Structure 1
Amino acid sequence: MTASEDVGLVLVEDRGPVRVISLNRPHVRNAIDLPLRHALAEAIEAADAEPAVRAIVLTGTGGAFCSGGDIATMTRAPRHETTARAQAAQRIVRALWHTPKPVVAAVEGPAFGAGTALALACDRIVASGEATFATTFTAVGLAGDMGIFSSLPARIGAPRARQMLMFGSRTSGTEAGVIGLVDRVVEPGEALAAALEDAAVLAAGPPLALGVIKQMLAGEARHPLAVLDLEIRNQTMLWDSDDFAEGVTAFAEKRRPVFGAAADQES
């Protein structure tokens, strides 16, 4: 892949070890139709499969993150006809959750409905203070998908998530930072630069350990004793890794560790 590649509905650009994936339907504020669902999932899966990519930034073109599902492409249909469409949306979320690589969302402008869910599926959200989040599914008689019933309450708690989903009210990027919906709030127009800054820090981190952190915090709540068992399994695996050896050596030599050397050599 070249440093910058235009795949139509999705733009893909590599900035060192960070891959930037941009939704590219600016004429509809990056609303998600069925072709975009497939293209975005494929782009995320390709980034996951590329050893040289150590972190991913997800954003949108034209000053918008994602205005939600493209309602103009939606009509009433029986369940057996819409299941594939819903599964295509879930494929995106599964790709974001399953990759061990950190994913940072850079949000400018609207993140409505599926746009909010898409941002929430990422590991870190950097948003402009003037960005707007809204779970607008009820406006068209829907409840929500793309993992939002897991990711939203995990971020802001079940009571607040219930109100946000039921009322569909709008939340500014600034307010989203206050309630914990996003992790970093920046000036308008600075979300991508800030996300790239954060992604570069993550890309320099130990990839195996970051993948374990994602795995341990994903999915359903576990019994505390099960968590202890998983911690032992993962920590002992990491103890026998090149990254751990490099970290200990760098500490002794009083220098910054260079993680992922083995992965870089394999690529």
Structure 2
Amino acid sequence: MSDEQPPVLTEDRGPIRIITLNRPQRRNAIDLPLRYLLAERLEEAMSDPGVRVIVLTGAGAGFCAGGDISTMRRMEADEAKPRAEAAQRVVRAIWLGGKPVIAAVEGAAFGAGVSLALACDRVVAAADSVFSTAFTGVGLAGDMGIFASLPARVGMAKARELMLLPARLTGEEASAIGLADVVVEPGTALERALADAERMCLAPPLAVEALKDMFRRWPRDPVSVLDSEVDNQVKLFATDDFAEGVAAFHDKRIPVFRGK
């Protein structure tokens, strides 16, 4: 019998369900087993009448370092598409579910980790947390709803800047531009997220569900972005540039992209 912990943990504190990414040895990087299980746990929480609010966090020192590059390699569309769709299933669960989701961010939120945090209804960030889009570093454009959530938070011009000129922003800097909703002392993000969740639990559930639905529809339904992200990611997984980005990551060098 294995003592190995699952990649996603859940804990109920009254009507609040805490969902924890649990790969601390990989800084909670998202591999296929994690993305499948995370989607399942979010869907379960959304359908559980005893759950009113969901808090999403990461085990150990970081929130989520993005996609697990150690599991990535160049691949054709028939293999890349299910992988990309599995990531989008996580975001669909958050956006289409009727319960608020709060991200409690400590440490790194890179690439898909940023996308995951921004997909949530509220982002609580530790002052020393670090946010970076980071997708282009491995030859990818981005997914998990970032082309809807990022412009909605920071505006289109700033979103372009953050995607084309990836920078590492502290929790303080992220809060200043609207990337995070509130910044707290290091080590207290989960505590603050739970306090906010307790207040949200006092709201009428049906009104909250309607509220989420209305925000999702303004100014356009962001779920429509998810299919476009899949199409682009699938194409990019088959490129020389993606293979170079992954190789450079493993070699700890700057990638040389040639547009192939």
Alignment match of 1:187 (pick from 185, 188, 196): 185
Alignment match of 1:32 (pick from 17, 21, 30): 30
The equivalent residue for 1:161 is 159
Residue 79 of structure 1 deviates from its aligned partner by 1.3
Residue 220 of structure 1 deviates from its aligned partner by 5.6
Deviation digits for residues 1-24 of structure 1, max 9, x if unmatched?
xxxxx9711110000100000000
The equivalent residue for 1:13 is 11
Deviation digits for residues 165-214 of structure 1, max 9, x if unmatched?
11111111001111111111000000000000001110111111111111
The equivalent residue for 2:216 is 218
The equivalent residue for 1:66 is 64
The equivalent residue for 2:227 is none
Residues 1:86 and 2:89 are matched in the alignment: no
The equivalent residue for 1:234 is none
Question: Where does the alignment leave 5 or more consecutive residues of structure 2 unmatched?
Answer: 221-260
Residue 49 of structure 1 deviates from its aligned partner by 1.1
The equivalent residue for 2:246 is none
Alignment match of 1:198 (pick from 196, 199, 207): 196
CA distance in 2, matches of 1:142, 1:220: 27
Deviation digits for residues 65-92 of structure 1, max 9, x if unmatched?
0000000000001112100000000000
Residue 108 of structure 1 deviates from its aligned partner by 0.1
Identify which of structures 1 and 2 has the higher relative contact order when contacts are C-alpha pairs closer than 8 Å and 6+ apart. Answer: 2
CA distance in 2, matches of 1:220, 1:45: 23
CA distance in 2, matches of 1:154, 1:177: 14
The equivalent residue for 1:150 is 148
Q: TM-score, normalised by structure 2?
A: 0.82
Paired residue secondary structure (2:102): strand
CA distance in 2, matches of 1:30, 1:7: 13
Paired residue secondary structure (2:83): helix
Alignment match of 2:174 (pick from 162, 173, 176): 176
Which has the larger Rg? 1
The equivalent residue for 1:116 is 114
CA distance in 2, matches of 1:220, 1:89: 23
Residue 219 of structure 1 deviates from its aligned partner by 4.1
Q: In percent, how many aligned pairs have the same letter?
A: 58
The equivalent residue for 1:106 is 104
The equivalent residue for 1:209 is 207
Q: Look up the equivalent residue of 1:26 and give its one-letter code.
A: P
The equivalent residue for 2:73 is 75
Tell me the matched-pair count: 217
CA distance in 2, matches of 1:80, 1:38: 18
